[in-house]
Structure 1
């Protein structure tokens, strides 16, 4: 497939902007190295937003550009690290979870969970929509939101195809409920979406604040639990689903029954996965002091090792997961994007660019800190419609560290606001992969997605400051220091 006009224009603009910034007149307050880091950053952000090059490939550009522009090389010159960040620790959280996710898909455990929920919600159209939302959101907490969308979409389309034209509103509600629920469900845990580990890694590197699995659940779960009922009520009312007669959901029940009893692979996968979840949730409060060097990545790799060595049939050499399945399910695009984000974010800080930007925004000092944090979330929620949410997190979180210090607002609170609001992409297909997948089916028009998504975005932005201020910061005290 050839490049679009936007991609061609983005490539040209990115390259020209890099050359002008990198080799133009000296910028006051920046060293030559800082000026060239800024040039590379602008190039990468433009490429990411316009997808002038594939997003993961753009994340690899520093390997070529940094040495060519005299920024740094393999030896970490100018105090800037390059190659080490492509093997950042969080990358191995994604690798380990890939093996666990691959095992769930291989044995059909994820499908059993989702179909089990949908098949038990009853015949009322409104509760059917709720069933899809709950099923997708729950599955999306533990695996890629993209995988959760791909898994449940055929079920929704199968039920929709059995309905007449009079149920058009229900079809749209069911299909659109899937990407929206996958996105919000992904907020619940660190492993639910690639955006969260990317953002948390940048936060740890730039300001030294580390958030573990349990702490993130204290941030993400309140948003997920509170948003889901509002989303359900809104979609039921928006598509007038509550006024429709009862329907036949025998397709979902039949598919669930066809799965039969749980096989060994499902049982072993479920046990190993639950052990990992318990370890993730208890590390910081129970056993972490006994194993001080263990991290969330350690637990993920423990899970990966267990599914690789746990036999289903020892004589036949069959194990819960095989190398090919696990390797193929690792989100390599996200691993590379995370590495490139870390390179850019650290270079941004270490070259003085973040400090320079912060100085320019010092005029915001004196504004109400809560208002500033909320404004960051609103701006992020708007921008995230134009490009995938992981890219927004990668591009903007490093900048907020210096901005927060300059205006006297907690940098972590601003970064947290940006990271959460990145997930409020509901209006356009480019905002998040689940949106693009569902739009690509042809079952949903762009007009439907924009109109329904706008309402959900407004609901999110109304609830966002309340949950952030009163629950995340108020109850749990996260982001207050």
Structure 2
């Protein structure tokens, strides 16, 4: 299997390195050579490189930023302003807080406490994946998976049941993907979608507010429905019985460390301030707008990170140490930050050059989509399929401008289309390469590609229906 994967990676890299310039040249040749045509060529090359990962996605994003200036599509100031977008600093701050939670084992403590109270094999599966779901709301999907997976493996392997072990590792991986839907911080596509919604004219003009709490109200119901659906799918496919004897597992509690306390306080403070404007607004408190202006999500995330850099946790006889060191902070996922910056620029340029409008009109002509239902179904399905082949962040970066242009071309509401594309981009349950949690689950050796594909295609269909119905119920 490893040899097959290696050959596939070589083929994929070659396809990307050859296909990107060839497709870009073809698109440019077919266009009139104006800014929309140049951007379409750049989009084509970038999309192919992101899907094939012939270059690291962050490097591809930097190349797109640079080439936008070389091709005369953007000025230097416009191009590099995208790398200073405020939401990038929400990534940076929240990644640092999540790192501080991971280092002392705060997430593992929560996962072990959850496992300690589970009953039966199905109960252990639900509890472990539920813990991953909750952790993934506030840290990256891969980090949440890395925290819970070793504990879940200990539970699963104790049963000596290969089917149960396969179900367990898939539950952890997919639970992380579902939990990531719930908050803007859960996974990068959420921030891509939320930023796009916040910059719509009706939002900027004040007719519609869409902040941290608003995202949670929209995304949490379908995520919870999919979590329950996942339990049912895995129980059905792998024949997990509710009444089976509970597997033995050592989950003895341990004392709290100063690092865990510091991380918990910083996280609780940040989470409170993130949801505070929405709560105050719901209560009719006039200070909500001031709080939102003075303490936007990006500022809160950075202040929480700064607090962790200042919080001393060293004890007697230990060298001076803070809750978060720069060495630890420097290890966050900077690649995702750069990838998001490149995506921001491409999306902005699509609107500026008129390429988004051209795309929308072409898709309406090709698909005949004219209703909200058809538009949401189309962009959700397209994002879902793309997420099986490319990273979730790249999928959302490519699909969000498409969703906007298609909705505008059909005269349908933009927000439902954006939500469908954003949530659909966070799927990808069929292949080990689809998401980092999938790859981590496959790397345990407990689940085969065939098992992942059989259960994954069923869960993809369920997820598509859940997202489509949820979005249409909320905004239809």
Same fold by TM-score greater than 0.5: yes
Decide whether the 8 Å contact of 1:206 with 1:349 is kept in 2.
no
Decide whether the 8 Å contact of 1:400 with 1:414 is kept in 2.
yes
Equivalent residue for 2:135?
A: 139
Equivalent residues in 2 for 1:414-429 (5 A)?
Answer: 414-429=417-432
Q: Secondary structure at the residue paired with 1:399?
A: helix
Structure 1 length normalisation: TM-score?
0.89
- State how far apart, in whole Å, the 2-side matches of 1:145 and 1:15 are: 33
Does residue 239 (structure 1) correspond to residue 243 (structure 2)? The answer is no
Equivalent residue for 2:206?
A: none
Does residue 160 (structure 1) correspond to residue 163 (structure 2)? The answer is no
Structure 1 residues 172, 35: CA separation in 2 closer, same or farther (over 3 Å shift)?
Answer: same
Cα deviations across residues 130-155 of structure 1 (Å, max 9, x unaligned)?
11111110111110000011122222
Equivalent residue for 2:217?
A: 218
Equivalent residue for 1:184?
A: 178
Equivalent residue for 1:127?
A: 123
What's the offset of the Cα at 1:372? 2.3
- State how far apart, in whole Å, the 2-side matches of 1:113 and 1:409 are: 43
Equivalent residue for 2:263?
A: 269
What's the offset of the Cα at 1:82? 0.3
- State how far apart, in whole Å, the 1-side matches of 2:249 and 2:26 are: 62
Equivalent residue for 2:289?
A: 289
- State how far apart, in whole Å, the 1-side matches of 2:321 and 2:183 are: 31
Does residue 8 (structure 1) correspond to residue 14 (structure 2)? The answer is yes
Equivalent residue for 1:38?
A: 40
Equivalent residue for 1:369?
A: 372
Decide whether the 8 Å contact of 1:144 with 1:193 is kept in 2.
yes
Cα deviations across residues 210-236 of structure 1 (Å, max 9, x unaligned)?
732111101121112222122112212
Q: 2:90 aligns with which of 93, 96, 101?
A: 93
Equivalent residue for 1:197?
A: 191
What's the offset of the Cα at 1:362? 4.2
- State how far apart, in whole Å, the 2-side matches of 1:142 and 1:25 are: 45
Decide whether the 8 Å contact of 2:139 with 2:185 is kept in 1.
yes
Decide whether the 8 Å contact of 1:33 with 1:351 is kept in 2.
yes
Q: Secondary structure at the residue paired with 1:44?
A: helix
Which moved further from structure 2: 130-139 or 313-322? 313-322
Equivalent residues in 2 for 1:461-480 (5 A)?
Answer: 461-470=464-473, 472-473=474-475
Equivalent residues in 2 for 1:57-136 (5 A)?
Answer: 57-75=59-77, 81-122=78-119, 124-136=120-132
Number of corresponding residues: 455
Structure 1 residues 136, 343: CA separation in 2 closer, same or farther (over 3 Å shift)?
Answer: same
Does residue 311 (structure 1) correspond to residue 332 (structure 2)? The answer is no
Equivalent residues in 2 for 1:241-390 (5 A)?
Answer: 241-242=240-241, 245-251=244-250, 253-254=251-252, 257=253, 260-286=254-280, 287-291=287-291, 292-313=293-314, 317-328=320-331, 330-363=332-365, 367-390=370-393
* Runs of at least 5 residues in structure 2 that lack an aligned partner in the other structure: 1-5, 204-208, 281-286
**Aligned-residue CA RMSD in angstroms?**
2.2
Q: Secondary structure at the residue paired with 2:330?
A: helix
Structure 2 length normalisation: TM-score?
0.90
Decide whether the 8 Å contact of 2:46 with 2:64 is kept in 1.
no
- State how far apart, in whole Å, the 2-side matches of 1:99 and 1:26 are: 44
- State how far apart, in whole Å, the 2-side matches of 1:100 and 1:319 are: 13
Decide whether the 8 Å contact of 1:389 with 1:423 is kept in 2.
yes
Which moved further from structure 2: 408-417 or 236-245? 236-245
- State how far apart, in whole Å, the 2-side matches of 1:140 and 1:71 are: 38
What's the offset of the Cα at 1:63? 3.4
Cα deviations across residues 308-343 of structure 1 (Å, max 9, x unaligned)?
112224885332222221221x22111011000011
- State how far apart, in whole Å, the 1-side matches of 2:471 and 2:380 are: 10
Structure 1 residues 42, 444: CA separation in 2 closer, same or farther (over 3 Å shift)?
Answer: same
Decide whether the 8 Å contact of 2:141 with 2:187 is kept in 1.
yes
Structure 1 residues 335, 206: CA separation in 2 closer, same or farther (over 3 Å shift)?
Answer: farther
What's the offset of the Cα at 1:268? 2.4
Equivalent residue for 1:78?
A: none
* Runs of at least 5 residues in structure 1 that lack an aligned partner in the other structure: 76-80, 474-479
Q: Secondary structure at the residue paired with 2:273?
A: helix
